[in-house]
Structure 1
Amino acid sequence: MLAPLIAGHAIAWNIAAHDGEDDVIGAGSFADLIAAGAFAPKMLFEHEGEVIGRWLHFSEDDIGLLAVGRLDLGSVCGRRAFEMVEAGEITGLSRGANMVCLARPIPGTKSRFCKRVFHLGEISLARHPANPLAKLLHFTAGTA
């Protein structure tokens, strides 16, 4: 059995994330990283612990940053994440707080608008993503 594939939006464009940073990320902000093949964030569970898999592909669509990855069932946390996704307990993705981007402040808020991302160290599977539209869209249960 192959390890399960997952796919979803790690980020939805133009939505303030409720993570203390409240960044708003614009469409096209990952295009240069993706085109350069220089985008390889870790896959974590709830932003902590060991790596639970590997992100295989990224693209941008009208909704946001689409991520496709494969869970590692050989890791304890990867297996737990698999079980939680399968049970419907994990439904979202969440970007790490370690993002480096070209940004400008959004007047009247503590938020900033990111229009070009230079680095993002991890994208996690999450029960409650900070960006409410960052959702898992597909899960293969190990058959792909």
Structure 2
Amino acid sequence: MSPLIAGHATAWGVVMHDVIVSRGAFSKLLAAGNFQPKMLLGHEGEEIGRWLEFREDDVGLLAIGRLDLDAKRGRLAFEMTEDGRATGLSLGAPIVGLARPITPEVRHCREVFSLPEISVCEVPANPAARLLHFTAGVA
């Protein structure tokens, strides 16, 4: 089996770029059972693995996935995570959802309808979207 990773893809109430995602924003999408964003490294290239589970917790959207060590960028993601260069997760654009302006620069997203990908990354746009668990070996 390949290594597992887990972390928050976003944290509630934190501005990332021009959006604040609120608690519960993914609840309908998760309940529908068809939430399957791609797993990428740095929002580009081939898929690096597969997201297995998502759930909303007190911090944000928790994502659990398995890296594919047969994919070149999957192996790179493994190496970057193992040596501490990749420390977070990041929601891929465009997030399609119900949002309202808070200020001219910031929107508040109350419900997410679709999300194309969630990436393993070095510096997440949402500073609280961090990796929490990584199996350096195989699980």
**What CA distance in whole angstroms lies between the structure 1 residues aligned with 2:138 and 2:50?**
17
**What CA distance in whole angstroms lies between the structure 2 residues aligned with 1:76 and 1:143?**
17
Query: TM-score scaled by structure 1?
Result: 0.94
- Count residues with an aligned counterpart: 139
**What CA distance in whole angstroms lies between the structure 1 residues aligned with 2:45 and 2:62?**
23
CA-CA distance at 1:113 after TM superposition = 0.3
Aligned partner letter, 1:29: A
3-state SS in 1 of match to 2:79: helix
Moved segments of 4+, more than 2 Å = none
1:63 counterpart residue number:
59
1:14 counterpart residue number:
13
2:2 counterpart residue number:
3
Which of 92, 96, 111 aligns to 1:96? It is: 92
Unaligned runs of 5+ in 1: none
Which of 34, 41, 44 aligns to 1:45? It is: 41
Unaligned runs of 5+ in 2: none
Query: TM-score scaled by structure 2?
Result: 0.98
State the Cα deviation string for residues 38-85 of structure 1 (Å, max 9, x = none): 110000000000000000000000100000000000000000110010
CA-CA distance at 1:142 after TM superposition = 3.4
1:30 counterpart residue number:
26
Aligned partner letter, 2:15: A
**What CA distance in whole angstroms lies between the structure 1 residues aligned with 2:122 and 2:6?**
15
- Asked if 1:134 corresponds to 2:129, the answer is yes
**What CA distance in whole angstroms lies between the structure 2 residues aligned with 1:123 and 1:27?**
18
Once superposed, what is the RMSD of the aligned Cα atoms? 0.8
**What CA distance in whole angstroms lies between the structure 2 residues aligned with 1:104 and 1:38?**
25
Aligned partner letter, 1:68: I
2:102 counterpart residue number:
106
**What CA distance in whole angstroms lies between the structure 1 residues aligned with 2:112 and 2:99?**
9
State the Cα deviation string for residues 96-140 of structure 1 (Å, max 9, x = none): 111100010013x41100000000000000001000000000001
Aligned partner letter, 1:15: V
